[in-house]
Structure 1
Amino acid sequence: MANEGCAKAGDSHFSLDKHAQLILAQINKMRNGQHFCDVELQVGKETFKVHRLVLAASIVNIGVNNVQELIVAADMLQLTEVVNLCCEFLKGQIDPLNCIGIFQFSEQIACHDLLEFTENYIHVHFLEVHSGEEFLALTKDQLIKILRSEELSIEDEYQVFLAAMQWILKDLGKRRKHVVEVLDPIRFPLLPPQRLLKYIEGISDFNLRVALQTLLKEYCEVCKSPKENKFCSFLQTSKVRPRKKARKYLYAVGGYTRLQGGRWSDSRALSCVERFDTFSQYWTTVSSLHQARCGLGVAVLGGMVYAIGGNNENAYFHF
């Protein structure tokens, strides 16, 4: 007859319920005797000698009220698993109103995984984030780092300009000196000149208005004489090209259609113009061509789309 606690025939494994309790009791006995203790925790004036392995294996309760203190302590004690748990918790709590605070905190404690996550979140939700109070509390360097990103999800570059100006105007006395540096990431060639002029004219602070007018004048002069200013930074490709995640439209203009299995003579020129929106990921029909045609050229100038040349089954178009 088998003894109690021994494996029986046919059992795939054997376990003892009290084993974990006995192990913990023995570890606690070693802690009380200060054997193999490799960490000291100081709480006020009292010091506790403990085992790093036991701390690392302990289960913790993470909440919004303790997560910051917990992650700092866990990082100091090199409890990687606890740090990772705290990071995952913060990722689950992130929203447009608190992401800047989490971004600054992750930079402060050098938590690169959380820092990368919050940066990406800020880029994707930029239009919501820059409207919050936390955005105005960014340091100059943090702001510039965000404004330089190719990943900003924006409808147009003017929104980035407004975000930069919003930060400057929050504390104009201290931030006026950073105007040139903060506006350097702005892609001025992509801004509508009249809209920009109107904004500048509405600024009440005289010194700031003059500084912006001077900047705008320099940009305009270089744009008029690019041959004399070949090495100006804002004329580089990165300055005249929309950001990767900026809203863009793809147009399909004219062309021809042919019945399935039909001959070339059965093809028919089209007058339709369709537009693909990179934000909504949908195609929509916009204003049609005055005359149906295919084989045409298309150009964009001053925000207008021009259809040039082409032909239909009856005539060629020359412009």
Structure 2
Amino acid sequence: MSSTAGEISKQLRLDGKLCDVVLRVGGAEVKAHKIILCSCSGYFRVLFTSSHWKCSEKSVFTIPDVSPDIMELILQYAYSADVDITSENVQDLLAAANQLDVLGLVGLCCNFLEKQLCPENCIGICRFADWYSCRELYRRAHTYILHHFEEVVREPEEEFLELTLLQLSDILEKDELNAKREETVFEAVLKWIEHAPTLRSSCIVVLLPKVRLGLMDNNYFLNNVRNNPLVSSHLECQALITRVLRTLHHICRNGLTCTCFLDPVSRPRLPYSILLAVGGWSGNNPTNAIEAYDSRTDRWMLIPWAEESPRAYHGTAFLDGALYIIGGFNGVEYFNSVQKFNPITHSWSQAGPMHFCRCYVSATVLDGYVYAMGGFTGYERLNSAERYEPKTNQWSLLPPMHEKRSDASAATLNGKVYICGGFTGSECLFTAECFDPQTNQWTLIAPMQTSRSGLGVVAFNQRVFAIGGFDGVNRLHSAEAYNPNTDSWSALSAMFHPRSNFGIEVLDDRLYVAGGFNGLTTISSSEYYEETSDEWFDIQDMHVYRSALSCCVVSGLPNVTEYTFHQPALQLQNKNLTEFNHTFKFKFISRALLTTHVTKQLHRDLSLSPN
């Protein structure tokens, strides 16, 4: 109905005019129009038109298990396609809408619950969605549990501890379970068992094989798993321990090989976030190569969906599910264009162009906007800045910075944009400034301890980090961090490799750097920084030697397998039937153990489960 017709029908109902049905709910009577109810509810459509039940002539119907308040909300939706959903009424409203087959209202309730997902309620919402067969909400809630597993098992933990054996087993066996350390998964199993040890102790036989024991630290496995009293008390677990010891020995000698991906105890889990290294300068030419780094396997994967136009000295930003490639240079042309990549569909499109060509640009994201600052047009260094709004596909100019800056780098922290260092055309800068969108102003902050052009800047644990770069004489491996509370910089331990014009990002609470120029040549080396120990660690080199690249972290991809080493490893399955059969046999044994050793627990869980 049009809004006018809807308002008229609503007023007629409130006035009790032309109403041809009375609904009895919870001792109250509510008048309505059959035709309106039939238009939104399959339940009422059948109820009012069924000749078999001789209901077409009836005007009074009793609706069970629905309160007057909830029925009023359903009628509100039926007459206006709008309803006031709250945390207090959503469960009763969804249950009634499901009972009365008001599918549109079921969808609204599911959308509301999805937006409320958090570590404290995701398990409850998942169970609720399963009970009422809301498959999409169930899928999203289940995915949320997997992606936020470490937060879910921490305090408050009531929902986690009330999981059934089957529910917990289903979560633990998923590749998508997001746990930085497999030790966390094992400790979660122990916590769940200790909540009801008499009933759950035997469940260790089922749950332990779901933990990727072969990915644990050797000392932790030997001291905390092998010698655990609960594990030691079950012969089936001891057989698994012996097998894992062989796997750990294999990994120590050969590293994480492809066969490890086919073994349930050593198969790496899929990462929730991946690091993308995009474009850059390789040899004497720009490149369009894209590589994805999987921190779970310490491997870079070349991604085949590179854009057609190579570019270097560009910026990248990830916003609203899209990767933006901003400005840059291809050896001939300086770009003001912006390419947009969808990592799910692998499709490229053109976003709105910037006001200026910007090579050596600094880019970042804040509050739903992409910021682009400074750079080089091919003729001059810039102090201008602009930001992009995806809804309008347009860039708008911001107040200019205090300094002209190309080869600078930027990050966002606590609602502000920080830009550090850079090159004016004649000198390398040690100055830094921040932009506050609330006041629309740039403010100079304390200068860095070292002049840095071609540096990397990133926000990390409430500080702004400035890494590497070029001071006008040497490529740097030094690093420093800015504390906004004290407006001061402090030195950090140095990288292993000096580098400028490299990629930098934060992934899984570590600061990663990749590629760059060391003063002699482009490099492919990569390393990460642990703040707790103030140490750097080498990781796998990229496949492509390059500088002038840009890095970006992409999270929560449903097709993350396409960006990880899991994909080529899985392709070996058809070539290695023996290993595949071994894996399948192990899973079959696990299911057999579930049946023979924990029948009573299963019966108990099934009696409590919504299914």
Distance 1:294 1:239, change over 3 A: farther
Of the three residues 20, 42, 49, the one matched with 1:30 is: 20
Amino acid at match of 2:512: W
Of the three residues 68, 75, 82, the one matched with 2:98 is: 75
- The residue that corresponds to 2:512 in the other structure is 283
Of the three residues 48, 54, 63, the one matched with 1:42 is: 63
Distance 1:220 1:206, change over 3 A: closer
Distance 1:234 1:27, change over 3 A: farther
Of the three residues 245, 262, 268, the one matched with 2:271 is: 245
- The residue that corresponds to 1:191 in the other structure is 216
2:364 is the alignment partner of 1:139: no
Q: Please tell me whether the aligned partners of residues 144 and 185 of structure 1 are also in contact (alpha carbons under 8 angstroms).
A: yes
Q: Please tell me whether the aligned partners of residues 77 and 83 of structure 2 are also in contact (alpha carbons under 8 angstroms).
A: no
Amino acid at match of 2:63: Q
Q: Please tell me whether the aligned partners of residues 56 and 79 of structure 1 are also in contact (alpha carbons under 8 angstroms).
A: no
Please show how residues 100-249 of structure 1 align to structure 2 within 5 Å: 100-131=123-154, 132-200=157-225, 203=228, 208=233, 212-221=237-246, 236-237=262-263, 239-245=265-271, 247-248=295-296, 249=298
Q: Please tell me whether the aligned partners of residues 186 and 208 of structure 2 are also in contact (alpha carbons under 8 angstroms).
A: yes
Distance 1:120 1:242, change over 3 A: same
Q: CA deviation at 1:200?
A: 3.7
Q: Please tell me whether the aligned partners of residues 200 and 209 of structure 1 are also in contact (alpha carbons under 8 angstroms).
A: no
Aligned equivalents of 2:76, 2:10: Cα separation in 1: 16
Amino acid at match of 1:272: H
Name the SS for the 2:512 alignment partner: strand
Amino acid at match of 1:236: L
Aligned equivalents of 1:96, 1:162: Cα separation in 2: 18
> Identity across aligned pairs (percent)?
25
Report 1 or 2 for greater relative contact order, CA contacts < 8 Å, sequence distance ≥ 6.
2
Aligned equivalents of 2:511, 2:165: Cα separation in 1: 38
Q: Please tell me whether the aligned partners of residues 200 and 212 of structure 1 are also in contact (alpha carbons under 8 angstroms).
A: no
TM-score (norm 1): 0.62
Which one has a larger percent helix, Structure 1 or Structure 2?
1
Name the SS for the 1:272 alignment partner: coil
Indicate the structure (1 or 2) with the bigger Cα radius of gyration: 1
Q: CA deviation at 1:92?
A: 2.3
Gap runs ≥5 in structure 2:
23-30, 36-43, 48-60, 252-258, 273-294, 301-330, 332-474, 478-495, 515-519, 527-536, 542-611
Q: CA deviation at 1:278?
A: 3.9
Moved more, 35-44 or 61-70: 35-44
Distance 1:165 1:293, change over 3 A: farther
Name the SS for the 2:19 alignment partner: helix
TM-score (norm 2): 0.35
Deviations 1:151-195 (A, max 9, x none): 222212222222222222222211122212112222221112321
Aligned equivalents of 1:213, 1:106: Cα separation in 2: 38
- The residue that corresponds to 1:57 in the other structure is 78
2:106 is the alignment partner of 1:98: no
Name the SS for the 2:210 alignment partner: coil
Q: Please tell me whether the aligned partners of residues 200 and 213 of structure 1 are also in contact (alpha carbons under 8 angstroms).
A: no
Gap runs ≥5 in structure 1:
1-14, 227-232, 252-260, 262-267, 286-291, 308-319
Aligned equivalents of 1:169, 1:18: Cα separation in 2: 58
